[in-house]
Amino acid sequence: MLLVTGGAGFIGSNVVAALNDAGRSDVVVCDFLGNDGKWRNLAKRQLVDIVPPAELMDWLKGRKLEAVIHLGAISATTATDGDLVFETNFRLSMRLLDWCTAAAVPFIYASSAATYGDGETGFDDDASLPALKKLRPMNLYGWSKHMFDLAVAGRVANGDPLPPQWAGLKFFNVFGPNEYHKGSMMSVLARRFDDVKAGRIVQLFKSHREGIADGDQRRDFIYVDDVVRVVMWLLATPSVSGLFNVGTGKARSFRDLMLAAYAAHGTRPNIEYIDMPEQIRGAYQYFTQSEVDRLHRAGYNGGFTTLEDAVKAYVGDYLDRPDRFR
């Protein structure tokens, strides 16, 4: 069996879909379904079980698994409960790492581009302890992910036991189907598509940094299908371990993203720029762009979808349909 933690979430449910599409029905999901409709992310899937996170370690006792894909986390960059975030994102990850080490089970886990903070030190996925210690995450979520990266890197540096395969994936700005339960953490495209479709005004943030135009704040937007391909490649390539950026390597603006949405729907652009809330201005990233050389050197050659093609696929296959779920 394969275990996917966070399997009812955004990226996790897309990984589960890809596993089903590849003929794998022996998939166990660990997640909360809650009351926000997350179950719909799995409504088309075939599973063995859904295990609540609090029961996971007991469920694992005596199990034999092919791999653990650990995507479960509190992923809101606005989270403020430090104890809950640390327990969920760090301590549970450590318990899973220890279990996979003892059971000799491959372990693929989600890190985050949020570990890079404001990007002042760059976006190089150097997994050495000296390199990681230079990073300064700007929010609680990024810090919790960074702490786990440091813990894994410490074991590598000390020659301590690890799973037969371990891979940390620093996801950049992922968008695509099944993100709808994420509320304010959904991509701007998912949040604003109904406005695009109706011809209403779409609001983007003004720039509060000299030399950067309104709406020209840039992110490394990556379509979820590309992320899933990397995960599936790692499952099929157990010889590869390491910490890897997962992005396109090309930063694009929020304005580009929304113009692509208008083009995909055939609607005339209608964008206005509003002041960024003061409470987030000091922690706002104006630029993220992954360096993906290490992933390529490790052997990945799956390529990445262009922003325009990704938006066209998302709009045409999901957002502009009655059933938006994968």
Annotated binding site for substrate: 173, 184, 205-208, 219, 284
DSSP state at residue 42: G
CA distance 68 to 89: 15
CA distance 44 to 213: 43
Residue ranges at the known binding site: 10-11, 31-32, 38, 71-75, 145, 173-174, 182, 184, 205-208, 219, 284
109 among known catalytic residues = no
Distances (CA, A) of 82 to 8, 32, 140, 143, 163: 23, 20, 7, 10, 28
CA distance 326 to 320: 13
- Chain-centroid distance of CA 3 in Å reads 17
Out of 182, 197, 250, 312, the active site residue is 182
Out of 116, 141, 223, 314, the active site residue is 141
CA–CA–CA angle 62, 75, 51 (5° rounding):
25
Supply the DSSP string of 106-147, one letter for each residue.
-EEEEEEGGGGTTSTT------SHHHHTT---SSHHHHHHHH
182 among known catalytic residues = yes
* Short-list 19, 66, 70, CA closest to 45: 19
Annotated catalytic sites, by residue?
Answer: 141, 182
